[in-house]
Amino acid sequence: MTNETGDFSVPFIAPVDGPALALSQVPDPVFSRKMLGDGAAVEARGKTVYAPVDGWLEMIFPTNHAFGITTAAGLTVLVHIGVDTVELAGRGFTRLLEPGIRIKGGTPVIAIEPGVIASYGKSTATCVIITDMAPVAELNMTGQDILRGGRDILFVCTLKQIG
């Protein structure tokens, strides 16, 4: 999508139902300090985690707590479900797709059980991170408080102009 100044922008869809969070609000310094990249998060209230953007589903962690997408614009995206959820060894996570396919934003990828995740004392903050920020000019959250996963826009990424 091109905006009025000719910049190319990519909308990122909320990965799950729930309240939007700035990365600085995620209770893990790896995310809150943007060590892996920039983006935003949603405190999961729903039971389905969706692809936030069109692209190639590159990988899903064996524990199903995270997956990676590469977009046609070359953005590398990590969706990480919860904080320290790798420790759950897959409990509360069910894979709905296998990697190696093209997907559309809004496609269900992982089914989750937020109650199971919370019962282990883990946050359900689900982060959408652009891991390579080199092509990114700016990210803007939409300002919407409560989001519908797979439908509402979480943030818009504007890419740098080339040339």
The pTM assigned to this predicted structure is 0.94
Class of the CATH-defined domain 9-159 = mainly beta
Beta-bridged to residue 159, according to DSSP, are: 136
Domain boundaries, the chain: 9-159
pLDDT on residue 161: 82
Catalytic residue list: 80
Smallest CA-to-CA distance from 82 within 94, 66, 59 is with 66
What's the rounded Cα separation, in Å, for the pair 146 and 58? 29
pLDDT on residue 163: 58
Question: What does the DSSP assignment read for 63-88?
Answer: TSSEEEEE-TT--EEEEEESSSGGGG
What's the rounded Cα separation, in Å, for the pair 17 and 13? 11
pLDDT on residue 78: 99
pLDDT on residue 149: 98
Q: Is 34 exposed, middle or buried (0-12, 13-18, 19+ CB in 10 A)?
A: middle
pLDDT on residue 7: 64
* Tens digit of each residue's pLDDT, the chain (163 residues): 544 555 699 999 999 999 999 999 999 999 999 999 999 999 999 999 999 999 999 999 999 999 999 999 999 999 999 999 999 999 999 999 999 999 999 999 999 999 999 999 999 999 999 999 999 999 999 988 999 999 999 999 999 986 5
